[in-house]
Amino acid sequence: FSSSGVIGSGVCIFSRSCIIDTGSHAFSLNGYAHKIQHGDWFGGKVVGLCKVLHRGIRINLYVTHLHAEYNKLHDQYLAHRIAQSFEFSQFVQLTSETADLAIMAGDFNTEPEDLPYRIILNNTGSQDTFLMQPTISQDSKGSGATCGHPRNTYTTKQELFDAPQGIRIDYVFLKHGKGVKTECFSCETPLEKIPNGTVSYSDHEAVVVKLLVTKSAYFEEPAMNNSARFTVLEEAGHLLNASLVCLRKNRIFYFMLSCLLLSLLLLSTPFNLPYGLNAFMIFSRIVLSIGLGFCLWMCSVMNNIEQKALLGACNGIQVLLASLKEDRGIEFQESDQVSS
């Protein structure tokens, strides 16, 4: 169990096998504190890790919950989820080097065509177990809805209107190392309603995966698709840099608004006014003070936190891109020598 933030992130791993080590990483960016109606900031989203020894196989189990997407057309949290998905993928990369198998699960709040999904898949070199099923056909790859499912009792009419069959945003990814081979027999959402009840277990469908893991010295570690990885990271870098530009504009906006509110506050010095107008003036000064405090907090505290988190993700992406460029250059030179 991993607890963070104000009210706790609410991620947990249960294992029948022996857990030999645990860890967690809190995301640098978790939404906005003043967006009380969303609550992601108060949850303090994290990625949790349990290292498990199962029949001689070293398995890293990861669980996470990325920032929610409240409006797909005007997604103000896209940069936050991109930064979180990059941090998540880097955490998996850096902690799974000695593991035979890494299994990543959770509510990722991103659909298969979205950038955060592609970052996780390509920057970790992992596979989506839903797409690994032997019986899945090309026509059915759009199914497997985990949120907004028509049978779920928590699904709203708006969700059904936007996506009649629901959307797939909860996943089980896996990444195997050298000497391990993994087969996925099924990836399903079999739970419906609570037994003897009339409601679903949750507003999200549970994802149940059946795997066969085989260990042998003859199995090679799968090679990462560095070309796809480079493309995805480059796209993420562009979007994060655009967000940084907007962030600088927001800082100027809140600073100018702070100056305006401060001027109004100074001009609203109490005068000898009738009782009704004096009460109104006092109320106005309270409102102006609260507004001034909020604007100063946004341009100095929240803006700095968001900027540093986005810069951290951008710097990490730039390091990887430079490394991938160098590797691609070496590969290109070698191919030229072979062809000549």
DSSP state of 81: H
- For 44, phi then psi, to 5°, come to 65, 70
Q: Are 282 and 274 in contact (CB under 8 A)?
A: no
d(CA 288, CA 14): 50
C-alpha separations of 150 from 165, 197, 257 in Å:
6, 17, 46
Euclidean distance between the first and final Cα of the chain, in Å? 58
Buried b (16+ CB within 10 A) or exposed e, 274-311: eeeeeeeeeeeeeebeebbebbbebbeebbeebbebbb
Residues that are catalytic:
204
C-alpha separations of 39 from 6, 121, 128, 185, 320 in Å:
10, 27, 29, 37, 32
Helices (H), the chain: 40-43, 78-95, 115-124, 129-132, 157-162, 226-267, 275-297, 303-339
Q: Are 4 and 46 in contact (CB under 8 A)?
A: yes
- Which one, of 39, 47, 128, lies nearest residue 77 by Cα? 39
| H/E run at residue 206 | none
d(CA 29, CA 82): 10
Q: Who contacts 291 (Cβ-Cβ below 8 Å, separation ≥6)?
A: 257, 261
- For 215, phi then psi, to 5°, come to -110, 130
* Token output for 194: 């609570």
